[in-house]
Amino acid sequence: MNIKKLGTFLLLVCFLAVGTLSAQEAVGVIAKVQGDVQHRKFNADEYSESVAMGTQLKNHDWIKTGEDGFMAVFFLDDKSQLKVKSNSEMEILAAVERGKISKTISLDYGQVKADVTKQKGEFRIATPTSVASVKGTGFWVISNPDGDVFFVLDGVVVVENLISGVIQQVVQDQTAESNVDGTVDVTETDQDDIPDDPDTDEGTDNQDTGPTLHELKIRMVNEQTNDEKLIIIDFSE
């Protein structure tokens, strides 16, 4: 389903009372699905291919995209967004404290874009080679067995190489390469190297080149008390 053609839509998400995170508490929701997208629940052994807009994500859930897959994920505390391109696999790790969700995206391999503009809890992306800590920013990560590449679009990303312990601060329009030999190289970004954003690509034939505004409404229902809470996420593409 194409978010660009939706405008406003409503999702119903069940949740437990906010507090210490239990394995059953939703921390995020899948807001867009294209192509081959799979989801493995924290208590399941196998992936499910029945993934739809509105699928809840919980602590220790896994998500995976195939050759033509793409998904967009929103986190429920600060509306941070994660775009997952094709041929990617990751585990969602999260802990809730005082209404804030500390998030770690454990990326085994693939390409993801993070938009963290109103950050509440900690946001990190961890790969077999690196850990990137975010301070209100937008950036791309490409991870493969040879290492990682971080393209910082705005804000600040702190990249630590897990092999050597080398730490580098990377700012807007800089690219960091974190290598399996332990080195971290920071250079000026070549705009042609930045991965294509599938949402942006969809609009290339549209005469209106300005941002498209959307409103995602998530009605959360407490399974214990039946109390409802409405979360509204405004975003542009």
182 class by beta-carbon count within 10 Å (0-12 exposed, 13-18 middle, 19+ buried): middle
Q: Using the predicted structure, report yes or no on whether residue 237 has a pLDDT greater than 60.
A: no
**Per-residue DSSP letter, 211:** P
> What confidence score (pLDDT) does residue 165 get?
98
* pLDDT band at residue 100 under the 50/70/90 scheme: confident
Q: Using the predicted structure, report yes or no on whether residue 145 has a pLDDT greater than 50.
A: yes
Per-residue model confidence as pLDDT tens digits over 168-227: 999 999 999 999 999 999 999 999 999 998 876 554 454 455 555 566 666 655 555 666
The closest alpha carbon to 199, from 110, 84, 90, 92, belongs to: 84
This prediction has a pTM of 0.80
**How far is 61 from 104, CA to CA, in rounded Å?**
12
Per-residue model confidence as pLDDT tens digits over 24-80: 678 899 989 999 999 999 999 999 988 988 888 999 999 999 999 999 999 988 788
> What confidence score (pLDDT) does residue 119 get?
76
> What confidence score (pLDDT) does residue 219 get?
64
Q: Count CB atoms within 10 A of the CB of residue 145.
A: 8
| Protein fold of 3-236 | Jelly Rolls (2.60.120)
Among 47-51, 105-109, 152-156, the range scoring the smallest mean pLDDT is 47-51
